[in-house]
Chains A and B, each alone.
Chain A
């Protein structure tokens, strides 16, 4: 095919997609990148599952800079994509503004917060503190040194929520246990820095940690790798990461971003918007992963204890401290 026919074909294709494929959804990944084995990849997996099950197609974009957030939102909305789904809290603010200019397009954001939610915007949140509490309990039970580690991406409120839930869970099992907490960096590069993750894991191991929980996007890959190399246990995040190092990853704190994306795409233009949707333990938005890769690591006693705690959280008998609620954490200093 020569260049002109190809160019013309693409121009025609863009024009067609603008008029015909009105119901085609679009997905914008946050700066960490599509294949981070974690948060964004969970969104990608949800979209792929939707495409496979319905035979539909969708458009996805990895943005490269802050200014592209608004640009991508506007271009996709103008081109007729609906709903436009985004991941990461950083895009929520500008999405609230853009959404007002496109009242017929539905916008979805995972993790975001807005003081006022426009009628065509849905903000999906997860109770990361609950999921982290459960894996924190497991970490404390699996630890022999009574020292466990936490490695976050950046020192932002969302990650503090993970860390606080985790340490609450650890302390619930063993009040004397020590939780070492480190953040990877102060720039968004911290979400995709496996080398730094590996260094931090090594430092925590030197301090006696024998279970490390990584909540740092792509950085976690380095944490899990080092933990496996050094013969200690690790805990994955967002996606099920147990398969990365079979028998070495204690469990993964599941944050079902894939379900959020899948459900949003399935609802399409009929998506209910105009508020928050909180996917908690009860809604199976968060949880811990149990599969053939970690079956030998999770004892029956451990499973029973965690499931009992989960049941208490769902019934409301046990309230896990939420960093968002009070901006502080009783069991961990930042």
Chain B
């Protein structure tokens, strides 16, 4: 059944997809009269060649790791959670409510409480569609995406009517108290007299994201629950035969998924903005789908894919800052990568499989 060796599946196909996306992007950039080589150089220079650039790349990557893992865990149970956006939005609300509730003495305590808040809000938001799927057969793709819009409306209502400090006309919460501000990499390195990551938002939650990657790997491949999730994902009838409850697995997988998506708020709300704004998730929930697809739902793959998308976002920002390439075109480039790695996977896979089969026959 497995025509392709593992390395070809995991490394070769994503690389070819990426290459195709970059070639087409280069043609698009040429078509508007800009220099694609210079554009690529600007992107690499701005995102990978300085600690400042890395600071932003890793900041975006942290968001994408959480949402990518969220989608990946649900994928293993063959559940397509498109609701990462809404779950992360609600996670942000959880973080804000906790950060603003009491004057936290130190960030180490605040972050634990905030993690619980973020995960709980995200998990609850995912649990409702999961219940509807498991008990009522409402398709989870439809319900999760509809829950996104409900989440946006909830956030809008909360910010405009409840959390907005008196006098302010900006639909955003008050700034979180000092005790909740997470140390950034800049502050960490400054302790040792090193100036690095200047002004960049990457913070301690990056380490949380890496830890989450490892924990998800342990969960999926080293625990009984992970085995049940995978078994359910491969064949529901076989799982039932083996005594695995579809209801239980659907709800648990989605709760874990929603909690991971919600945890993203530790990075963008608590770590970066230090207050809750309307547009805090800004598409990271959807990017998570592409990240999970590209990373083959494996935590290490998600880690690498998140870095790639972090690079695309920070590189895109640098393009906007220092070239005349319009912002819409930067979105086109990002979309091309998603299209090739996510949607057009078989376009590369099938010819490659034929190629490998031919080699095998010759061999």
Contact partner, A66, options B38, B153, B273, Cβ 8 Å = B273
Q: Flag if B273 contacts A14 (CB, 8 Å).
A: no
Asked whether any CB of chain B lies closer than 8 Å to the CB of A54, the reply is no
Stretch at the interface among B75-83, B188-196, B275-283: B275-283
Contact partner, B41, options A7, A64, A74, A324, Cβ 8 Å = A7
CB 8 Å contact bits of B141-163 with A (1 = contact, 0 = none): 00000000100110110001000
User: What is the bound-complex CA distance between A67 and B320, given in angstroms?
Assistant: 14
CB 8 Å contact bits of B15-46 with A (1 = contact, 0 = none): 00000000000000000000101100100000
Stretch at the interface among B168-176, B212-220, B291-299, B352-360: B168-176
Asked whether any CB of chain B lies closer than 8 Å to the CB of A107, the reply is no
Asked whether any CB of chain B lies closer than 8 Å to the CB of A68, the reply is yes
Asked whether any CB of chain B lies closer than 8 Å to the CB of A61, the reply is yes
Q: Flag if A93 contacts B38 (CB, 8 Å).
A: no
Q: Which of A44-93 contact B (CB under 8 A)?
A: 61-68, 70-72, 74-75, 89-90, 92-93
Q: A64-B316, A64-B327, A66-B282 are in contact. Are A113 and B170 (CB under 8 A)?
A: yes
User: What is the bound-complex CA distance between A155 and B153, given in angstroms?
Assistant: 10
Contact partner, A31, options B37, B38, B164, B279, Cβ 8 Å = B279
| Most B CB within 10 A of own CB, among A67, A72, A157, A158 | A67
Q: Flag if B38 contacts A70 (CB, 8 Å).
A: no
Q: Which residue of A lies closest to B279 (CB)?
A: A188
Q: Flag if A71 contacts B56 (CB, 8 Å).
A: yes
Q: A14-B322, A75-B321 are in contact. Are A93 and B279 (CB under 8 A)?
A: no
Q: A31-B279, A71-B317, A113-B168 are in contact. Are A186 and B322 (CB under 8 A)?
A: no
What residues on A are CB-neighbors of B321 within 8 Å?
61, 71-72, 75
Asked whether any CB of chain B lies closer than 8 Å to the CB of A10, the reply is yes
Contact partner, B169, options A71, A74, A113, Cβ 8 Å = A113
Tally B residues with Cβ within 8 Å of A: 43
Taking the closest CB of chain B, its distance from the CB of A226, in whole angstroms, is 23
Asked whether any CB of chain A lies closer than 8 Å to the CB of B91, the reply is no
Q: Which of B265-317 contact A (CB under 8 A)?
A: 268, 272-273, 275, 277-280, 282, 313, 316-317
Asked whether any CB of chain A lies closer than 8 Å to the CB of B66, the reply is no
User: What is the bound-complex CA distance between A188 and B149, given in angstroms?
Assistant: 13
What residues on A are CB-neighbors of B41 within 8 Å?
7
Q: Flag if B160 contacts A156 (CB, 8 Å).
A: yes
Q: A31-B279, A62-B326, A186-B156 are in contact. Are A67 and B272 (CB under 8 A)?
A: yes
What residues on B are CB-neighbors of A7 within 8 Å?
38, 41
What residues on B are CB-neighbors of A161 within 8 Å?
169
Q: Flag if A67 contacts B156 (CB, 8 Å).
A: no
Q: A72-B321, A157-B160 are in contact. Are A62 and B327 (CB under 8 A)?
A: yes
Q: Flag if B169 contacts A64 (CB, 8 Å).
A: no
Q: Flag if A63 contacts B279 (CB, 8 Å).
A: no
Contact partner, B199, options A66, A74, A188, A324, Cβ 8 Å = A74
Q: Flag if B169 contacts A157 (CB, 8 Å).
A: yes
Q: Flag if B156 contacts A154 (CB, 8 Å).
A: yes
Contact partner, B37, options A3, A63, A70, Cβ 8 Å = A3
User: What is the bound-complex CA distance between A3 and B59, given in angstroms?
Assistant: 31
What residues on A are CB-neighbors of B272 within 8 Å?
66-67
What residues on B are CB-neighbors of A92 within 8 Å?
170
Q: A113-B168, A156-B160, A186-B156 are in contact. Are A10 and B278 (CB under 8 A)?
A: no
User: What is the bound-complex CA distance between A3 and B38, given in angstroms?
Assistant: 7
Asked whether any CB of chain A lies closer than 8 Å to the CB of B121, the reply is no
Asked whether any CB of chain B lies closer than 8 Å to the CB of A115, the reply is yes
| Most A CB within 10 A of own CB, among B41, B155, B164, B171 | B171
Q: Which of A1-30 contact B (CB under 8 A)?
A: 3, 6-7, 10, 14
Q: Flag if A93 contacts B170 (CB, 8 Å).
A: yes
Q: Flag if A89 contacts B169 (CB, 8 Å).
A: yes
Q: Which residue of B lies closest to A101 (CB)?
A: B199
Q: Flag if B160 contacts A155 (CB, 8 Å).
A: yes
Taking the closest CB of chain A, its distance from the CB of B279, in whole angstroms, is 5
Asked whether any CB of chain A lies closer than 8 Å to the CB of B167, the reply is yes
CB 8 Å contact bits of A148-168 with B (1 = contact, 0 = none): 000000111110010000000
Contact partner, A156, options B171, B201, B275, B313, Cβ 8 Å = B171
What residues on A are CB-neighbors of B171 within 8 Å?
154, 156-157
Asked whether any CB of chain A lies closer than 8 Å to the CB of B254, the reply is no
Asked whether any CB of chain A lies closer than 8 Å to the CB of B331, the reply is yes
Asked whether any CB of chain A lies closer than 8 Å to the CB of B60, the reply is yes
Q: Flag if B38 contacts A6 (CB, 8 Å).
A: yes
Taking the closest CB of chain A, its distance from the CB of B248, in whole angstroms, is 34
Q: Flag if A65 contacts B168 (CB, 8 Å).
A: no
Asked whether any CB of chain A lies closer than 8 Å to the CB of B330, the reply is yes
User: What is the bound-complex CA distance between A94 and B280, given in angstroms?
Assistant: 14
Q: Flag if B152 contacts A186 (CB, 8 Å).
A: yes
What residues on B are CB-neighbors of A3 within 8 Å?
35, 37-38
What residues on A are CB-neighbors of B35 within 8 Å?
3, 6
What residues on A are CB-neighbors of B160 within 8 Å?
155-157
Q: Flag if B320 contacts A93 (CB, 8 Å).
A: no
Asked whether any CB of chain B lies closer than 8 Å to the CB of A315, the reply is no
User: What is the bound-complex CA distance between A7 and B275, given in angstroms?
Assistant: 39
Taking the closest CB of chain A, its distance from the CB of B362, in whole angstroms, is 41
Interface residues of chain A, those whose CB is within 8 Å of chain B, are 3, 6-7, 10, 14, 31, 33, 61-68, 70-72, 74-75, 89-90, 92-93, 112-113, 115, 154-158, 161, 185-188, 324
7 extra A-B contacts, CB within 8 A, seeds A187-B152, A187-B278: A64-B320, A71-B317, A93-B172, A113-B169, A115-B168, A157-B160, A186-B156
Interface residues of chain B, those whose CB is within 8 Å of chain A, are 35, 37-38, 41, 56, 59-60, 149, 152-153, 155-156, 160, 164, 167-172, 175, 199, 201, 268, 272-273, 275, 277-280, 282, 313, 316-317, 320-322, 326-328, 330-331
28 CB < 8 A contacts A-B: A14-B322, A33-B328, A61-B321, A62-B320, A63-B317, A63-B327, A64-B313, A64-B316, A64-B327, A65-B317, A66-B272, A66-B273, A66-B277, A67-B59, A67-B272, A68-B320, A72-B317, A89-B169, A90-B278, A90-B279, A93-B170, A93-B275, A154-B156, A154-B171, A155-B160, A158-B169, A185-B152, A187-B278
Lowest 9 A-B CB distances belong to which pairs?
Answer: A186-B152, A62-B327, A186-B156, A157-B169, A156-B171, A3-B37, A186-B153, A188-B279, A89-B170
